[in-house]
A = this chain, B = another copy of it.
Amino acid sequence: MKKITIGRLSKAANVKVTTIRYYESIELMGKAERSESGQRLYDDSSIQRLSFIRHARDLGFAVDDIRELIELQTQSGSNCKAVDEIARSHLSSVRQRIRQLGSLETELERMVSNCKGNDIGTCQIMKSLNDHSACLSEAHDRIKPM
């Protein structure tokens, strides 16, 4: 079995070296074999697994979800209801986030389009921010950083 170093795995799966080590530390990737000198050694199955993880991350799945997906994958024979549930739930949170950002977008557009480049005292953007009544719907979660 051909073994590769972490750098080659990194290129093969398009995941940074530091990230691979991080995945090992949080036990998302198993502990790697080591060479005599202590360097990590991987094989094709590591590339497979890491690629799976990367695809799932690209789709926005949380690390815990991915852990569960991997768990489910090894239990062959089980049906994929659980997988479906994870995916659907993720999809719904993506949609919720899109709606949330959509209303931000509308609000920001309104503010920006009203701005005439006048002095700060009459600036519509500042007015909007200072105006208590100009706020979005009363109770919603704070926006996550971009």
Main SS class of interface, A: helix
* A48 (CB) vs chain B CBs: closest residue: B130
Q: Which of A84-131 contact B (CB under 8 A)?
A: 84, 87-88, 90-91, 93-95, 97-98, 101-102, 104-105, 107-109, 111-112, 115, 117-121, 123, 125-126, 128-130
Q: Are B119 and A79 in contact (CB under 8 A)?
A: yes
Instruction: Take A59-B108, A108-B59, A142-B58 as given contacts and tell me if A123 and B91 are in contact as well, using a CB distance cutoff of 8 Å.
Output: no
- Please name all residues of chain B whose beta carbon is closer than 8 Å to the beta carbon of A72 when the two chains form the complex: 120, 126
Q: Enumerate chain A interface residues (CB-CB to B < 8 A).
A: 48, 51-52, 54-60, 62, 69, 72-73, 75-81, 83-84, 87-88, 90-91, 93-95, 97-98, 101-102, 104-105, 107-109, 111-112, 115, 117-121, 123, 125-126, 128-130, 132, 134-136, 140, 142-146
